[in-house]
Amino acid sequence: MLGPNQHANAEIGGQPIEHLAAVGMVLTLTVAGHETTVNGIGSALWLIGSHLQIKQRLIDNPRLIPAAVEEALRLESLIQMMARTVTGTSTSTA
């Protein structure tokens, strides 16, 4: 962890990143990470709450939870208003 008077030696295109630019990048990554995490959890809970049979299957068999999380991520975008294009098919192993 860097102290308040220390700077990383990061560069972009051979040019050092200025302190305020680095702070802005860290803030952006922090907010973006929080936003996508909240959206993912919220979408998964909404999907499970909207499909009571699925909810009961997950309660009865917790081993299905990882596949349910993957499916929730597939169905609901973590970043709203961003289009996605299907490029192939996939099959679940659960």
Residue 91 maps to a domain: no
User: How does residue 48 score in pLDDT terms, banded at 50, 70 and 90?
Assistant: very high
Counted domains in the chain: 1
Residue 23 maps to a domain: no
Residue 49 maps to a domain: yes
Residue 25 maps to a domain: no
Residue 44 maps to a domain: yes
Which tokens in the block code for residue 63? 């081993």
- Measured at the CA of 48, the angle between CA 78 and CA 70, to 5 degrees, comes to 50
CA–CA separation, 58 vs 42, rounded Å? 17
- Domain limits at 61? 39-78
pLDDT for the residue 30: 87
User: How does residue 37 score in pLDDT terms, banded at 50, 70 and 90?
Assistant: confident
Residue 27 maps to a domain: no
Rounded (10°) CA dihedral 58, 88, 35, 51: -30
Global pTM value: 0.57
Residue 92 maps to a domain: no
Mean pLDDT of 8-22: 82
pLDDT at 67 over 90: yes
